Amino acid sequence: QVQFVESGGGLVQAGESLTLTCAVSGAGGRFRFLAIGWYRQAPGKQRELFADIRYSGYTNYADSVKGRFTVSRDTAKNTVYLRMNSLKSEDTAVYYCNILGSNDWGQGTQVTVSS
């Protein structure tokens, strides 16, 4: 069973950058083929998908983060990263990584952006 552990969240000021780490276990040789998405859930809002990465290396971003966030993958470490630049207060949320389409969630990591 594939499991995801998110880390790297914290409190930052608007305009600063932060990198989140998604450690993947249980995937073995399948890791490089997984379609992995980044999701976030803001207070009082539903969880939303905003970025993903496919085995081909293709990445997709929602308009709200396009040009500011970058997803990357390190197959040697079974790890997916999310680089967030130019953070805004509206980016405040709990961030999750997961296989696209899965509803089995980890604990996520809190990102809080202050103005």
pLDDT at 56 over 90: no
pLDDT, mean over the chain = 96
pLDDT the model gives residue 81 = 98
**Alpha carbon 81 to its chain's center:** 7
- Percent of the chain that is helix, strand, coil (3-state, to 5): 10, 50, 40
Confidence grade of residue 103 (pLDDT, cut at 50, 70, 90): very high
Beta carbons within 10 angstroms of residue 47's beta carbon: 15
pLDDT the model gives residue 1 = 85
Residue pLDDT, tens place only, 18-30: 999 999 999 988 8
Tally the C-alpha atoms within 13 A of residue 71's C-alpha that lie toward its C-beta: 25
DSSP lists the bridge partners of residue 84 as: 18, 69
Sign of the CA dihedral running 48, 82, 7, 90: negative
pLDDT at 59 over 90: yes
pLDDT, greater one: 115 or 6: 6
Q: What percent of the chain has pLDDT over 90?
A: 90
pLDDT at 80 over 90: yes
Residue 33 CA: distances (Å) to CA of 43, 45, 51: 32, 31, 16
